[in-house]
Amino acid sequence: MDSRVKTFSDKMQKALDYLEADYQTIRAGRANPHVLDKIKVDYYGTPTPIQQVGNVSVPEARMIQIAPWEKSLIKEIEKAIMSSDVGITPSNDGSVIRLVFPELTEERRKELSKEVKKKGEDAKVAIRNIRRDGNDAFKKLGKEEVSEDEIKDLTDELQKITDQFIKDIDAAIDAKSKEIMTV
What is the CATH number for 11? 1.10.132.20
Final residue of a structural domain among 70, 100, 130 = 100
Q: Does residue 117 register a pLDDT over 90?
A: yes
Domain that holds residue 160: 3-25+105-181
Q: Does residue 132 or residue 145 have the better pLDDT? A: 132
Final residue of a structural domain among 49, 65, 100 = 100
Q: Of all helices (H) and strands (E), which one includes residue 91?
A: strand 91-92
Q: Record the pTM.
A: 0.71
* Residue 29 binned pLDDT confidence (cut-offs 50, 70, 90): low
Residue-wise DSSP of 34-79: GGGTT-EEEETTEEEEGGGTEEEEEEETTEEEEEESSGGGHHHHHH
Q: Determine the average pLDDT of the residues in 145-149.
A: 81
Same domain, 84 and 40: yes
Total count of domains within the chain: 2
Same domain, 85 and 39: yes
pLDDT in the model for residue 183: 62
Q: Does residue 39 register a pLDDT over 80?
A: yes
